[in-house]
Amino acid sequence: MDETILIANGSVIDGTGAAPRKASVLIRDGKVAEVAQTIDAPDARVIDATGQTVMPGLIDAHCHLAFDDAASNAEIFHQRRNALSALVASYNARKLLRAGVTGVLDPDSTFENMIDLRDAIDANIVEGPRMACGSYALINNLGGTAGTLIGDSGITGYYKVVSGRDDIVAEIRRQIKHGADWIKVHVTGVVPRMAHLGEVCVWTLDELKLICDTAHELHTPVMGHCRGAEATRRAAVAGFDLIFHATAMDETALREVIDRKIPIAPALTFQANMVDFGPKLGTSDTLIRLFEREITESIDTIQIAHKAGVPILCGSESGFSLVPYGDWHYREMEVFVKYFGFSPLEAIRSATSQGARALRMEGRVGTIAPGFEADIICVTGAVEQDVTILGNTDNIKRVMIGGVEKSLAPLPVRKPISGWRLASMGKKLTRDYMGTQTPPDEPFEAIELH
């Protein structure tokens, strides 16, 4: 039987964008029963939240749990094994809980095994956030974002090549049959001989309409990776339900998105980390400036879309070495405040009530109000003044999903997995490089490669 809980004396941010208020939250049967300054509930277990913000758990609308902090697509494509990938993802899912994440959309995964992790979490076999997920990302034989690393047919990593009407329809139906919550499409991709153009749109409008019509007929929404104006425009016109990135929109693409109020998840945490920390990581200045422009050139369009009522969702793109699990799930809010002019409360709304769309649970999660699932975190400090408070997991004191408290104890220390990573040979060993280096003081010691 579900426990009755009273979270008392906290500063409640409800996730709607409203200002915080001093209130208590009563939880019965896993749902919020009442939010008021004074609540009489003698049967409740009382949690004293004095000095804490009580708010909805974060919803990460773009996180790849199976990628395991990969340093490259090649690592994902060639170093992963199916069952082990799912087991490792279950470990990563617990990192998200400790970062205050109570819901996650995993757009695509190796071996489409995040469907299995979602079901294992739902069945209480393993602990993790609520999940919604896609299957393999649909691409055509022109390729996705990894260029010629991707095969001309079949499956490569998290991609599935489809060709022609019958193949597209059959794969969408297969994915839905096997439990996909969303259909994911890489609307843009990198063509090696056109790399100077960045990502280009690789689908026709008719093909994208076919994808949407087929999925929608089976009550399944469609999400798309879109960089560039034409890709975003076509996705909007075709009927996509969620657009990732939506960078470099022109007026036409922006108008199509606004007219249909299609949610956007910019997922710019990766880029922001590159800009802020790339120099320390040895990243080339050219690449850093490229990623910075992706943010700055989106400022006007995201601001206009936001003011026009387009839902803007927070997604970390965690799964790569630049955005490891458990560390950066708050940061998209910081990006929204720093670059796009969101207030902290608006950014919190993007990471909570707006994020419910990614879980396909609008009106059920992401808000602290009567009737909503009690997906709640208690955080030391005034988050409405500084969202970066959420970046320190020591500040996150409680995490609840459906009124059930989740363990915040440290995870077991993980050991290397043989053959799981690609080895690096390090810097290019030119004679000029050797001439500028000071010989090491310590003798060379061979290190075993795991």
pLDDT at position 447 is: 44
**Do 254 and 301 meet the contact criterion of CB atoms below 8 Å apart?**
yes
**Closest by Cα among 185, 145, 140, 149 to 167:** 140
Residue range 290-303: mean pLDDT, rounded:
94
User: Per-residue pLDDT for 446 more than 50?
Assistant: no
Output the pLDDT for position 439: 55
Where does the pLDDT of residue 450 fall: very low under 50, low under 70, confident under 90, or very high at 90 and above? very low
Q: What is the pLDDT of residues 352-406, one digit of tens each?
A: 999 999 999 999 999 999 999 999 999 999 999 999 999 999 999 999 999 999 9
What is the SS3 assignment for 218?
A: coil
At residue 286 the predicted structure's pLDDT band, cuts being 50, 70 and 90, is: confident
Residue 366 CB neighbours (<10 A):
30
Q: How far is CA 166 from CA 42, 210, 220, in A?
A: 62, 10, 18
Report residue 331 as tokens. Answer: 């940061």
Is the pLDDT at 445 greater than 70, yes or no? no
pLDDT digits (tens, 9 = 90+) for 297-356: 999 999 999 999 999 999 999 999 999 999 999 999 999 999 999 999 999 999 999 999
Quick check: 2 pLDDT over 70? yes
- Can you point out the beta strands (E) in 180-334? 183-186, 188-189, 200-201, 222-227, 242-247, 264-265
Phi and psi for 4 in degrees, rounded to 5? -90, 125
8 A C-beta contact, residue 348 and residue 22: no
pLDDT, one tens digit per residue, over 85-130 is: 999 999 999 999 999 999 999 999 999 999 999 999 999 999 999 9
Query: Is-contact 97 399, C-beta < 8 A?
Result: yes
* Position 422 pLDDT exceeds 70: yes
Quickly state the pLDDT bin for 448 (edges 50, 70, 90): very low
How far is the C-alpha of 389 from the C-alpha of 13, rounded, in Å? 14
423 pLDDT tier (thresholds 50, 70, 90): confident
Q: Write out pLDDT tens, residues 33-62.
A: 999 999 999 999 999 999 999 999 999 999
Q: What is the mean pLDDT of residues 161-188?
A: 97
Residue that wins the pLDDT comparison between 121 and 286: 121
Average pLDDT, the chain: 94
116-127 burial: b if 16+ Cβ within 10 Å, else e: bbbebbeeeeee
CA distances from 123 to 117, 126, 127, 364, 441 (A): 10, 8, 9, 19, 55
Residue type, 208: L
pLDDT in tens, 142-156: 878 888 889 999 999
Sequence-distant (6+) residues with CB within 8 A of 123 are none
Task: Retrieve residue 34's tokens.
Answer: 């009442």
Domains recognised in the chain with CATH numbers: 58-329 (3.20.20.140)
Q: How many CB atoms neighbour CB 261 within 10 A?
A: 11
How far out from the chain centre does Cα 56 lie?
17
Sorting pLDDT into bands at 50, 70 and 90, what band is 436? low
Q: Does residue 229 carry a pLDDT above 60?
A: yes
- CA 116 to mean position of chain CA atoms: 18
Pull the structure tokens for residue 62: 């773009």
According to the model, what pLDDT value does residue 329 have? 98
pLDDT at res. 438? 57
DSSP codes of every residue in 297-334: TTHHHHHHHHHTT--B-----BSBTTS-TTTSTTHHHH
- 176-210, pLDDT tens digit by residue? 999 999 999 999 998 888 877 789 999 999 999 99
This prediction has a pTM of 0.94
Q: What percentage of the chain exceeds 70 in pLDDT? A: 95
Note whether 360 and 221 are within 8 A (CB): yes
C-alpha closest to that of 135 among 246, 222, 244: 222
